[in-house]
Amino acid sequence: MYAIVKTGGKQYRVERGQRLLVERLPEAEGADVALEPILYRSDDAVFDKAGLESVKVTAKVVAHVRGEKLRVFKFKPKRGYKRRTGHRQDLTQIEVTEITQGKTKAAAKPAAEKAPAAEKAPAAKAAAKAPAGETAPTAKAATKAPAAKPAAKAKETAKVKEESTDGA
């Protein structure tokens, strides 16, 4: 069983008991953190929004650390320009304590019952927006290409004819 979670703009594949380094989190050391699941996998895969609402991924903040130093060197030849700087990223080490999935079958039934009602609602909204005497624009009108401009070619040919008549 594993989950793919999102934190700090990145996605990680996590399992229970796994330790990993993520972008700095504001929680103190020893605090529990709820991570946002994107996918849950055990016997079956869950990645729809309704199913993920029942999945909970919690982790414990182990320590706040800094990453290794990255050297940044800028150089422009023939100009005497050299700059050397460094950067250390602030990171948080977390340990995944549990990955649980709540009531998935119970949540699936209400979603299935709501689906037919949801399909009727957009059609009703579209009918309400359009006035009684007017019809909505069709797909053909939206995809119609603009007409070509033959007038520019006609002017060019007129200039060529004038030049040929002047020489005669």
Quote the tokens at residue 34. 């709820």
Question: What is the rounded average pLDDT for all residues in the chain?
Answer: 80
Of the CA atoms within 13 Å of residue 4, those in its CB half-sphere come to 10
Mean pLDDT, residues 103-127 = 51
H helices of 2-137, in order, are: 49-52, 104-129
Quote the tokens at residue 59. 């982790």
Mean pLDDT, residues 59-83 = 97
Give residue 107's pLDDT.
44
Give residue 47's pLDDT.
85
Residue appearing with tokens 């004819």: 161
**Of the given ranges (64-78, 102-116, 134-148, 154-168), which has the lowest mean pLDDT?**
102-116
Cα–Cα distance for residue pair 153/9, rounded to 1 Å: 54
Strand partners for 61:
94
Among 129, 110, 131, which Cα is nearest to 121's?
A: 129
Cα–Cα distance for residue pair 92/61, rounded to 1 Å: 7
Q: Summarize pLDDT for 89-111 with one digit per residue, the tens.
A: 999 999 999 999 886 454 444 54
pLDDT band at 43 (very low <50, low <70, confident <90, very high): confident
